[in-house]
């Protein structure tokens, strides 16, 4: 028998959201949905794919950010003309990221998200704050749906990045969205919901006060605490 190649890693099952994204992407890139075609409704896609609305919305949002679809309020989502740069945006994560473990993702987040919240405090709007408040309230209600909680946890951090009003930060986060989202699901599944509820409220309250130092410190503590708990859980 041949020797095991040390660089190989164990194969992991793809998340449902990634599978939905890939199926919709295939419909767009194969020509099944030519430019201008209206995509099936969320309800119809849920029925055909046997998944929740959260997974459908996540996939369509990713496709919209990457330039594959256009979502028109009150009308639905429509396929767009595909360019070479659009395809590269999809291929880039697979080419350069690979399968990163959860600690590496958290280390990236500690650098990026502390900086993002620093900028967001100066630039955040009342509408941004209202969106963050709605997310935190949903998390504090302690829903039994673990998938919904992980989705809200992830969207809280993405909303802060958007509130920083820096297009590069937003674009990078969207490009590696699946990596960030999958790591969040692992965190919620393995560590529970307590820290998310506690720290998100602290971060949001500091942002409402426009207290930059407190916002940064709560965000830093939130992620460092998560790293410490992951190390303890995995006995690293």
Block mean pLDDT (10 aa), the chain, length 236: 45 72 86 91 93 90 84 91 60 45 87 96 97 94 80 94 92 78 82 90 98 97 92 69
Quote the pLDDT of residue 98: 40
Quote the pLDDT of residue 199: 96
Quote the pLDDT of residue 100: 46
Quote the pLDDT of residue 94: 46
SS3 for the chain is CCCCCCCCCCCCCCCHHHHHHHHHHHHHHCCCCCCCCECCCHHHHHHHHCCCHHHHHHHHHHHHHCCCEEEECCCEEEECCCCHHHHHHHHHHHHHCCCCCHHHHHHHHHHHHHHHHHHHHHHCCHHHHHHHHHHHHHHHCCCCCHHHHHHHHHHHHHHHHHHCCCHHHHHHHHHCHHHHHHHHHHHHHHHCCHHHHHHHHHHHHHHHCCCHHHHHHHHHHHHHHHHHHHHHHHCC
Quote the pLDDT of residue 187: 86
Quote the pLDDT of residue 89: 55
Quote the pLDDT of residue 37: 93
Quote the pLDDT of residue 1: 41
Quote the pLDDT of residue 234: 65
- Name all domains of the chain by residue range, CATH numbers in brackets: 16-88 (1.10.10.10), 99-234 (1.20.120.530)
């Amino acid at each position: 028998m041949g020797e095991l190649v040390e660089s190989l890693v164990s194969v992991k099952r793809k998340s449902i959201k990634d599978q939905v994204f890939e199926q919709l992407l295939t419909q767009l890139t194969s020509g099944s949905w030519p430019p201008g075609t209206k995509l099936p409704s969320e309800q119809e896609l849920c029925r055909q794919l046997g998944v929740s609305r959260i997974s459908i919305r996540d996939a369509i949002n990713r496709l919209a950010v990457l330039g594959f679809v256009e979502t028109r309020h009150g009308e639905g989502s429509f396929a767009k003309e595909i360019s070479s740069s659009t395809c590269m945006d999809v291929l880039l994560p697979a080419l350069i990221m690979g399968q990163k473990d959860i600690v590496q993702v958290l280390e990236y987040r500690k650098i990026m998200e502390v900086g993002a919240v620093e900028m967001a405090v100066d630039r955040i709007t009342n509408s941004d704050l209202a969106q963050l408040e709605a997310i935190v309230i949903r998390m504090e209600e302690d829903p039994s749906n673990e998938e919904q909680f992980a989705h809200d946890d992830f969207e809280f951090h993405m909303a802060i990045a958007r509130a920083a009003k820096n297009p590069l930060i937003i674009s990078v986060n969207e490009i590696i969205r699946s990596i960030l989202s999958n790591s969040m699901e692992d965190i919620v599944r393995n560590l529970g919901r307590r820290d998310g509820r506690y720290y998100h409220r602290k971060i949001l309250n500091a942002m409402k006060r426009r207290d930059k130092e407190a916002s940064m410190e709560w965000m830093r503590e939130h992620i460092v605490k998560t790293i410490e708990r992951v190390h303890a859980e995995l006995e690293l």
